[in-house]
A and B are shown apart, each in its own frame.
Chain A
């Protein structure tokens, strides 16, 4: 039992933090809000650091690392509310592309573009191909699943370039415009886009979902911490009744409650990442625990941080909004806390019931 990260993992985390502190500031986020499709150059930076291809096997040019290596980086991405699709590309899609690259040219080419080529991926959460997909507008391709006649299929749908299989999503307007949500107006999946079916597709998609829960959870941890930090700073500074509002016990207890939730969400996310890397048979349950806990932690942080700001927190001008909106979106994405509680319960009843 050694439940800790290595020096190297912690150093990678702080290196990414320094980069994002310069390249993903609230001003940058505001620029992204104004023009979400503009390229801020961050994706190239992340690519050059090896972050984007971290989970790609070494023989394909990546770092060949796992989710335990990635979670701290995703937490940093969350702290910065990174607009680029690191969760989708690196945590979710890359292992699927790598698993199929030997058999499908399209996966092989996508993987090559992912390593050093700036490829961005989006992943659909629903088996209904017409349901909006986060990140679809900014992505080069969307990984989708459909179930036809009870058989699961996975598709790689390109969204730019030409060719008959290319499908262009149309914009869906959302509160946080950097989510770049898009929707296909007709089913873009077909034999030209199919990359896996049947048992293999079930397994690959099941694994992808577990990674999605944990990776989104890690991002939410970062968001929660950022919101609490912003609010603690504000509460030390803002005075009412002649004293900092952070000295009022009502304000302290709001923030302490959120901090406790965050403290206990963290090990849930880290342990689930490790279990997934190990192929542990209980990984699914812990991945759901991680997402449920992280969603609750971020939702609670968002609530109390807005409250502790008073009216200024309700403004466009206040940076808090940049992180609130992402938290609200991600708390629901890839299953809400409630959805995951049901998944956890089903698996518990199977085991202990």
Chain B
């Protein structure tokens, strides 16, 4: 058997898949920036409708099995689809917490019944998910979760109480995946369980929180004896931490942030630079523009390097933390540089013309905070990649 040598080309089939995606997107993507912000009630529904349009033609979750609404394509095809999606400047994915974070966990830990129940409406946008992990007193120290779930044998399920916070899309979402303490006696990481919660259940109160831009991009969620049936426990009772770490791996690793998001933004940054290349200010920023493009390119290349490893049976371990540091810093560098190029125009916001670079910058600023802060990721890199002592 001769072994495959390095080859960075896509196959003819993959290129055909790319063209098919490109054609569909060209015909269907609404004009860039034409949908209202997804963190408004109106925008949320407009983005949901876009998910339904994609789902109708099986483009919303290409890598999933056909029975759940996908096309059963591989990891590389998903990355190709993402390249086309971002190139087309298609809308942000309102269903991202579900399709990119919960779904990989459902495929790994979910029962066939759970997969059949939850995946199709997730793919169509009929049910939008939010992530209920953080609490007022459990942020970086996630294992410090205090929200409780008490056993109710008579009802065949659990009664949830406590408070979650910072749940993205929580203001308008239908469902929440969350971690609750089922065994207060057990060691911190052991007594947690992963629940799938219908936010229409009695006892749930959602309070939207305006973000730095004034829109309600996340929410706090209060639980007062909220009933969740046994059928909606994901993984084993008491195993919530391990199940959650699979989701966290997706969040930091391959699935949440495909490189196309950054390579596209970097391309637009170069175009912005070129449109001002005569300015003395632009010339001073030329190194930053190039560096931002290279950061995105490095991320793209590293993604294909990692994807090849995964396709050959390898796994993504603590490298996911290095990855998260890199994509979040790349996003910041791209947008910071764009604002610097815009100079006094950078502060313009809202109104008729908007300022996509400023919106992008505000969003990028959260990158080093969510999905585990970059300080926490540096701890992981130091301890688990380099082997430095924990204490």
Interface, chain A (partner B; CB < 8 A): 1-8, 68, 228, 232, 235-236, 243-244, 246-247, 249, 251-253, 255-257, 259-260, 263-268, 270-271, 274-275, 286, 289, 292-293, 338, 341-342, 344-345, 348-349, 352-353
Give the residues in chain B near A352, CB-CB below 8 Å.
267, 270-271, 274
* A349–B322 alpha-carbon span in the complex (Å): 30
* Residue with the highest number of chain B CB atoms closer than 10 Å, among A3, A271, A349: A3
Is B6 touching A247 in the complex (CB atoms < 8 A)?
no
- 27 A-B pairs with CB atoms under 8 Å apart are A3-B301, A4-B312, A6-B3, A6-B4, A6-B6, A8-B3, A236-B387, A244-B388, A246-B389, A247-B389, A247-B390, A249-B379, A252-B378, A256-B325, A259-B322, A259-B382, A259-B386, A260-B381, A263-B302, A271-B301, A286-B297, A292-B290, A292-B294, A338-B287, A341-B287, A349-B277, A353-B273
Cβ of B375 under 8 Å from chain A: yes
Q: Contact between A348 and B8 (Cβ–Cβ < 8 Å)?
A: no
A6-B3, A252-B379, A260-B325 known; A348 and B270 CB under 8 Å? yes
Say which residue of A2, A236, A251, A268 sits within 8 Å of B7 (CB atoms): A2
**Residues on the B chain within 8 Å of A344, using CB:** 290, 293-294
Q: Which of B290, B302, B304, B385 contacts A348 (CB 8 A)?
A: B290
Contacts of A232 in B (CB 8 A): 386-388
Docked Cα-Cα span, A259 to B307, in Å, equals 20
Q: Which of B270, B287, B381, B383 contacts A349 (CB 8 A)?
A: B270
B76 lies within 8 A of A1 (CB): yes
Once bound together, how far apart are the Cα atoms of A254 and B301, in whole Å? Answer: 24
Contact status of A246 and B3, CB under 8 A, knowing A259-B322, A274-B8, A348-B293:
no
Which of B352-391 touch A at CB < 8 Å?
375, 377-379, 381-383, 385-391
Binding site for A on B (CB under 8 A): 3-11, 14, 76, 267, 270-271, 273-275, 277, 286-287, 289-291, 293-295, 297-299, 301-302, 304-305, 307-309, 312, 319, 322, 325-326, 375, 377-379, 381-383, 385-391
For residue A6, which residues in chain B have a CB less than 8 angstroms away from its CB?
Answer: 3-6
Q: Measured between alpha carbons, how far is A353 from B271 in the docked complex, in Å? A: 5
Structural contact, A4 and B305, CB atoms closer than 8 A: yes
Closest residue of chain B to A272 (Cβ to Cβ) is B301
Query: CB < 8 Å: which of B301, B309, B325, B378 contacts A268?
Result: B301
B14: chain A residues within 8 A (beta carbon): 1
Q: Does A5 contact B6, Cβ atoms closer than 8 Å? A: yes
**CA of A64 to CA of B20, assembled, Å:** 40
Q: How many A-B residue pairs have CB under 8 A?
A: 167
Please give, as numbers and ranges, the residues of chain A lying within 8 Å of B299 by CB-CB distance.
Answer: 264
Q: Contact: B388 with A235, CB < 8 Å? A: yes
Q: A2-B6, A293-B298, A341-B291 are in contact. Are A255 and B388 (CB under 8 A)?
A: yes
| Residues of chain A lying within 8 A (CB to CB) of residue B385 | 256, 259
* A348 cross-chain contacts in B, Cβ below 8 A: 270, 289-290, 293
Q: Is the CB of B304 within 8 A of A1?
A: yes
The closest CB in chain B to the CB of A68 belongs to: B6
A4 to B7, CA, bound (A): 8
Most buried by A among B271, B325, B326: B325
Distance between Cα atoms of A255 and B325 in the complex (Å):
14
Q: Identify the interface centre among B271, B295, B305: most chain A CB within 10 Å of its CB.
A: B305
Instruction: Provide the residues of chain A in CB contact with B325, threshold 8 Å.
Output: 256, 260
Asked if B378 and A267 make an inter-chain contact with CB atoms under 8 angstroms apart, the answer reads no
Chain B hits for A289, CB < 8 A: 294, 297-298
Q: Which residue of A lies closest to B330 (CB)?
A: A264
State whether A259 and B381 are in contact (beta carbons under 8 Å apart), knowing that A236-B389, A353-B271 are contacts in the complex: yes
The contact of A260 among B287, B301, B322, by CB within 8 Å, is B322
What A residues does B76 contact at CB under 8 A?
A: 1
5 additional A-B pairs beyond A236-B389, A256-B325, A268-B297, beta carbons within 8 Å, are: A8-B3, A263-B319, A265-B298, A341-B290, A353-B275
B326 to chain A, nearest CB (A): 6
- B301→A255 contact, CB < 8 A: no
Contact yes or no, A342 B290, CB < 8 A:
yes
A5, A7, A246: residue with the most chain B Cβ atoms closer than 10 Å: A246
